[in-house]
Amino acid sequence: MLEATALEKHYGADVSALRGVSLSIEEGELLAIVGPSGSGKSTLLHVLGTLERPSAGSIRIAGHEASELSDRSLAALRARAIGFVFQQFFLLDGRSARDNVADGLLYTGMPLRERRARAEGTLREIGLAHRLDHRPNQLSGGERQRVAVARAVVGRPRILFADEPTGNLDTQSGEGVVSLLRRLNRAGTTVVVITHERELAESLPRRIELRDGLVELDTAVA
């Protein structure tokens, strides 16, 4: 699914956020990338998800060599194969849960009626059939995060990156979101969770620990 080789990411002359990260993620995996603040995990998310280009190294994702793709082709790859869930939700306040999720299909060329139907079906699948017409300010934190997950997976991506998906949630809501991610993984989605929560990371089948821009531990490596 994804292979990264000797990734480096530099910001100016003084900051090296990644200093030679290599890893491979198989299709259908569920894993955590964990590390303290400043370890490089958010930068690694952006680079692996093709939101930023590395300063050096290479990424092959879903059969494509990212370094060989134009910005437009990378955007098309993200729209087709990659989903993102962020800690801040990024939902539009004036739009219903259904329309927020439908927005995840904006760049597919799908007609509005079909986008909304697909969004409704996804929300029903994750237990939010009773919240289709609710706006974000009418939802709990856990429900808003579930809407964000639905928006990320409505296009049926092959790989989902979840950045601190429980960071703004209470314990019960966080457990519900993690349970949803596990269910999506069982259905075939490759799920990568970026977190600083060691307990969450240790509960997942594979754990990659970053420190100072380097992989310190990868439990998949004997």
- The CATH number for 127's domain is 3.40.50.300
pLDDT in tens, 171-184: 888 888 888 889 88
Q: Once rounded to an integer, what is the mean pLDDT over residues 27-46?
A: 92
Rounded CA-CA distance 35/210 in Å is 5
Q: What is the pLDDT of residue 173?
A: 80
Q: Can you give the pLDDT at residue 95? A: 94
pTM: 0.88
Tokens standing for 109?
Answer: 């060329």
Domain count for the chain: 1
List the domain range (segments joined by +) for residue 192: 2-218
Sign of CA dihedral 138, 101, 95, 78: positive
pLDDT at residue 222, as a whole number? 56
Residue-wise pLDDT for 113-133, tens only, equals: 999 999 999 998 888 999 999
* DSSP per-residue codes, 17-60: EEEEEEEEE-TT-EEEEE--TTSSHHHHHHHHTTSS--SEEEEE
Range scoring the smallest mean pLDDT among 90-104, 155-169, 201-215:
155-169
Task: Tell which wins on pLDDT, 8 or 180.
Answer: 8
C-alpha dist (Å) from residue 220 to 13, 56, 189, 208, 217: 33, 24, 19, 8, 9
**pLDDT tops 80 at residue 221:** no
